Amino acid sequence: MRNSLVLALSGLVLAPAVSAQAYDSGDRDREDFSWVQPKNTTILGPYGHVPPVYPSPNATGVGGWEDALQKARDFVAQLTLEEKADMVTGQPGPCVGNIVAIPRLGFNGICLHDGPLAIRVADYASVFMAGVSAASTWDREILYQRGLAMGREFKAKGAHVALSPVCGPLGRSAYSGRNWEGFSPDPYLTGVAMEETILGHQDAGVQATPKHFIGNEQEIMRNPTWKTNGTVGEKVQEAISSNIDDRTMHELYLWPFANAIHARAASVMCSYQRLNGTYACENSKAVNGLLKEELGFQGYVMSDWGSTHSGVSSIEGGLDMNMPGGLGGYGMNWKAGSFFGGNITRAVNNGTVPVERVDDMIIRIMTPYYWLGQDKDFPGIDPSTGDLNTFSPRSTWVREFNMTGERSVDVRGDHGALIRKHGAAATILLKNENKTLPLKAPKSIAVFGNDAGQITEGFYNQDEYEFGTLVAGGGSGTGRLTYLVDPLTAINARAAQDGSLVQQWLNNTLIAKTDVRTLWLPTPPDVCLVFLKTWAEEAADRASLHVDYDGDDVVDSVARYCSNTVVVTHSSGINVMPWANHPNVTAIIAAHFPGQESGNSLVDVLYGDVDPSGRLPYTIAHNASDYNAPIVTDIQTDGFYDWQSWFDEKLEIDYRYFDANNISVLYEFGFGLSYSTFELGEINVENVAGSNITSRPEHLPVQPGGNPALWETLYNVSIPVTNTGDVDGTTVAQLYITLPDSAPEGTPVRQLRGFDKLSLAAGQTGVANFELMRRDLSYWDVNAQDWVIPKGEFVLSVGFSSRDLPVTTTLTPVKGCTKRKL
Ligand SMILES: *[C@@H]1O[C@H](CO)[C@@H](O)[C@H](O)[C@H]1NC(C)=O
Ligand SMILES: *[C@@H]1O[C@H](CO)[C@@H](O)[C@H](O)[C@H]1NC(C)=O
Ligand SMILES: *[C@@H]1O[C@H](CO)[C@@H](O)[C@H](O)[C@H]1NC(C)=O
Ligand SMILES: *[C@@H]1O[C@H](CO)[C@@H](O)[C@H](O)[C@H]1NC(C)=O
Ligand SMILES: *[C@@H]1O[C@H](CO)[C@@H](O)[C@H](O)[C@H]1NC(C)=O
Ligand SMILES: *[C@@H]1O[C@H](CO)[C@@H](O)[C@H](O)[C@H]1NC(C)=O
Ligand SMILES: *[C@@H]1O[C@H](CO)[C@@H](O)[C@H](O)[C@H]1NC(C)=O
Ligand SMILES: *[C@@H]1O[C@H](CO)[C@@H](O)[C@H](O)[C@H]1NC(C)=O
Ligand SMILES: *[C@@H]1O[C@H](CO)[C@@H](O)[C@H](O)[C@H]1NC(C)=O
Ligand SMILES: *[C@@H]1O[C@H](CO)[C@@H](O)[C@H](O)[C@H]1NC(C)=O
Ligand SMILES: *[C@@H]1O[C@H](CO)[C@@H](O)[C@H](O)[C@H]1NC(C)=O
Ligand SMILES: *[C@@H]1O[C@H](CO)[C@@H](O)[C@H](O)[C@H]1NC(C)=O
């Protein structure tokens, strides 16, 4: 035992194929073992302590899953030990993740599929808008409807589990390659998006998998590096460690996961990177402590594909399912064995892992399965999946799979119409000088840019190629298009109704170096539409915040001679826009990744059939150097543990940082224009909790989402909103809170705590409603280890963006000293 502890501390214990010792540590000192840290502790500084939380809590089914849990228990009671090992270990098969069937029990196995905007490994399925676009709608109903429609497609293809939605990355850095898969760097907006999406998925009968838990805020070095030594992979450096303090964890990164668990998410995927020095999937504080104890999570934790780095340590740390099942890291090779699988049987037989823990893992897996009725009439797997699955092609399958679904079943239904509508609602109008938009039957239109036209190199995982519009990013979060309405095609179709002339130039290199007057001779166009794009994909971070393919030069070239230049971006997220204040750039639209109806969604807004009602889910700064919280891009040293990312900015990400430091920005969080104008009336605050609100919540038995007292509404806030323009329109009323001075240092100046999207006819008045829950008014007190409402006066600010807040009022939930504590 002593031996294995030494190995653990030197880090060798986690290396597959060189570490049979992973299982030799039955009665080790957990406190030491759970913290695989560098010998040089100055590298980890004040972080790097993972408070040990053992044993892994048993599921109880609390919160509505009690009956399903009993069925799961009965199921587990019939399993042999080998079947138990199968139930928690992925196998190569038709889906991106597969749990094999147990025919003698009538159990048909579990099929897991990517991803957050489409069922990826499928034909005849829809490509929905990406998370960043969904967040831009600020529309609870759309978020739900999108989740529901996606869920129906997964189910109809025979997928029990959708590996969706994403709130990690949250968006600490604008550069992270996967921000577009998730929603927004604001935890409140993302929390609502998670909850609605999950309710949608699961109402369709499919298990949701919020991911990646937790701290997966950059792609670079998310996995360890390896070198080949003979047939054996030898680890060179451990993956990056996200070092996050407890308060930041609770108020930013864990916050939307709490919403996800509150919505009864079936499973959670743990992430690749290390967390305070320990791999996320075996971080007992995170998985056992935060997720299973504090948030009362009753479902199962699955690893990301290859993010399992140990057997016993992971099982004890709370991991319930190893995906895709083979050894992670080097080779991701099933044939090399598994940290789970056969090792589980052996570890149980020799007493290293109690069988009760394995039983709990399976109970957690099967409870949501029964709760969602997946044991009854669930569609069989579409055999086309088996042909499309390049991750585990048929040649790798070692077990039997019966794909009893209809081959190439078309699951799209009428989702195209929905996607068109959702894409339009996600379109953000950032600038509109002199009402240049909506277009009014222009006589002559010129279209520029390599993002305007049809995709040129295939309908799947577009990759960073030059010609073709972008509707999704790359990696496991992408989708396989069955058709694509590109902007140019949609503009041509719409322009034909007005008899407009439409000319096009799609080669950015050419446009950037050309006097564009020579292109459109003899008469200047009435409007020049410039289409720009920005790619991002899994496993790589963005190198720049500028648009791709010299897009900035394209705008300059066009705007030099076109006095009515409208710029449209299809981007993964944040762009700097050096041309934003160019006098000839009259309008700017951020359309992000809208999905398969992209062109139609855009044209609906360009021509005013739909009011642009998207709002920025992040901040656009004046220039790239204005952003803080840089990702780690390079480590010059070659020490085993040298990749460290310090979340030193704490709560100050995105607008929280710009506001705290009074930095002027180009377009602030929450901003977006309508074709109409809106005004607010008088704010009304109703205390629904009675007069005596306590600072600390009552400690009620934990339910999914945590202490239910945190989810109790304390105040209902409402405010009339009037459409003061002469066209019908849609706006998003937003509520921000400022905590009293008694809150600890580092508390953000303003934080979003409510939003309400209203569509109003010209002249009409509606009412925006916001419910403030206890959690919304609390900060995480690291000493009390509890959510606390600070004493004194809160400021509530309501308006139309984080920097347009004309209406304020105050609120004192807990009376007392308002002076900052010394
Ligand atoms: C430990 O790491 C720090 C930071 O990298 C370095 O300055 C210091 O020299 C190291 N100490 C030892 C004993 O290696
Ligand atoms: C990370 O380290 C901080 C500081 O030691 C600690 O408070 C926190 O609980 C740790 N979190 C995890 C998940 O290990
Ligand atoms: C989980 O339940 C088993 C009995 O099924 C029990 O032996 C074990 O101690 C329980 N674990 C915890 C952490 O409560
Ligand atoms: C390869 O592995 C062997 C045995 O573990 C070791 O002795 C040798 O140093 C390794 N070679 C390299 C190049 O790392
Ligand atoms: C057990 O795990 C080790 C890694 O620790 C691996 O090399 C071995 O192949 C696994 N055994 C089985 C049966 O999968
Ligand atoms: C227990 O089983 C594990 C499973 O692979 C094995 O690695 C370990 O050597 C065994 N320990 C003992 C004491 O037999
Ligand atoms: C596949 O179907 C055959 C024939 O119905 C059946 O005997 C077998 O058990 C099934 N296998 C699995 C893994 O479901
Ligand atoms: C907008 O209209 C004003 C007033 O008519 C005019 O001075 C200004 O040049 C116009 N701006 C643009 C970009 O057309
Ligand atoms: C785009 O334009 C540049 C500059 O004129 C030219 O060199 C290049 O070949 C063009 N690309 C294509 C695909 O036509
Ligand atoms: C804007 O466009 C007009 C018309 O072509 C042109 O004369 C003017 O120089 C342009 N302005 C700038 C700043 O490029
Ligand atoms: C950043 O933006 C500001 C405001 O537009 C500008 O004055 C400044 O020159 C820019 N700095 C850099 C380094 O581009
Ligand atoms: C104040 O709190 C106490 C204890 O929670 C409760 O019994 C009482 O009804 C509350 N009073 C009011 C006015 O809400």
Please write the tens of the pLDDT for every residue from 301-320: 999 999 999 999 999 999 99
pLDDT at position 30 is: 29
pLDDT at 275 over 50: yes
Query: What is the Cα–Cα distance from 342 to 88, expressed in whole angstroms?
Result: 11
Residue 13 has pLDDT above 60, yes or no: no
**Confidence bin at 5 (pLDDT 50/70/90):** very low
d(CA 474, CA 117): 11
Kindly give, in sequence order, each residue whose CB lies less than 8 Å from that of residue 607, ignoring residues fewer than 6 positions away.
Answer: 438, 439, 494
Rounded to whole angstroms, the Cα distance separating 128 from 411 reads: 13
Token pair listed for 551: 């897009």
3-state class of 72 per DSSP?
helix
| pLDDT at 15 exceeding the cut of 60 | no
User: Cα(683)–Cα(229) distance, rounded to whole angstroms?
Assistant: 68
pLDDT band at 521 (very low <50, low <70, confident <90, very high): confident
Cβ of 337 less than 6 Å from ligand 6:
no
Q: What is the DSSP string of 706-764?
A: B-GGGGSEEEEEEEEEEE-SSS-EEEEEEEEEE--TTSPTT--S-EEEEEEEEEE-TT-
Protein residue whose Cα sits closest to atom 10 of ligand 10: 560
Q: Is 42 in the pocket of ligand 1 (CB under 6 A)?
A: yes
pLDDT > 70 fraction of the chain, expressed in percent and rounded:
92
Tens digits of residue pLDDT in 184-243: 999 999 999 999 999 999 999 999 999 999 999 999 999 998 887 766 677 888 999 999
Tell me the mean pLDDT in the region 291-298.
98
Answer yes or no: is the C-beta of 66 below 6 A from any ligand 3 atom.
no
Tell me which of 314, 327, 350, 353 to substitute to probe ligand 6's pocket, judged by most ligand atoms within 8 Å of the beta carbon. 350
**Residue 49: predicted pLDDT:** 75
> Is the minimum distance from the CB of 43 to ligand 1 under 6 angstroms?
yes
528 C-alpha to ligand 11 centroid (Å):
27
* Residues listed for the chain: 822
pLDDT digits (tens, 9 = 90+) for 84-107: 999 999 999 999 999 999 999 999
pLDDT value, residue 50: 84
Residue 461: its pLDDT value, please?
83
Band of the pLDDT at 37, cuts 50, 70, 90?
Answer: very low
Residue 333 pLDDT grade (very low, low, confident, very high; cuts 50, 70, 90): low
Going by alpha carbons, the residue nearest to atom 8 of ligand 7 is 103
Q: Does the pLDDT at position 8 exceed 50?
A: no
What percent of the chain shows pLDDT beyond 90? 86
Per the prediction, the chain carries an average pLDDT of 92
Strands 765-773 and 713-723: antiparallel
Amino acid at 788: V
Per-residue model confidence as pLDDT tens digits over 393-449? 999 999 999 999 999 999 999 999 999 999 999 999 999 999 999 999 999 999 999
169, two tokens: 């990355």
Q: What span, in angstroms and rounded, lies between the C-alpha atoms of 402 and 527?
A: 57
Residue type, 809: T
Q: What is the mean pLDDT of residues 110-121?
A: 98
- Do the beta carbons of residue 611 and residue 676 sit within 8 Å? yes
Distance 445 CA to ligand 5 centre (A): 64
> Mean pLDDT throughout 8-17?
27
The answer to whether residue 244 scores a pLDDT higher than 80 is: yes
Nearest in space to 547 (alpha carbons), one of 516, 568, 562: 568
Confidence of residue 642 (pLDDT cuts 50, 70, 90): confident
pLDDT higher than 80, residue 17? no
d(CA 745, CA 820): 9
CA separation for the pair 677, 509 (Å, rounded)? 39
In this prediction, residue 691 has a pLDDT band, given cuts at 50, 70 and 90, of confident
Pocket test for ligand 5, best of 235, 327, 334 (most atoms within 8 A of CB): 327
Sequence-distant (≥ 6) Cβ neighbours of residue 77 within 8 angstroms: none
Q: What is the pLDDT of residues 762-814, one digit of tens each?
A: 999 999 999 999 999 999 999 999 999 999 999 999 999 999 999 999 999 99
Return the higher-pLDDT residue of 638 and 799: 799
Lowest mean pLDDT: which of 42-56, 344-358, 624-638, 710-724?
42-56
Residues 6+ apart with CB under 8 A from 314: 279, 281, 282, 303, 308, 322, 339
Residue with the larger pLDDT of the pair 461 and 323: 323
Average pLDDT on 567-583 reads 98
Answer whether residue 25 shows pLDDT above 90.
no
Q: What angle do CA 622, 625, 628 make, to 5 degrees?
A: 105
Which residues belong to the active site? 304
Distance 263 CA to ligand 9 centre (A): 51
Determine which residue's CA is closest to atom 2 belonging to ligand 11: 622
Please state, in angstroms and as integers, the Cα–Cα distance from residue 450 to each residue in 310, 458, 508, 570, following that order.
46, 15, 6, 11
Mutate to test the pocket of ligand 1, among 40, 44, 641 (most ligand atoms within 8 A of CB): 40
What are the φ/ψ torsions at residue 432 (nearest 5 degrees)?
A: -155, 75
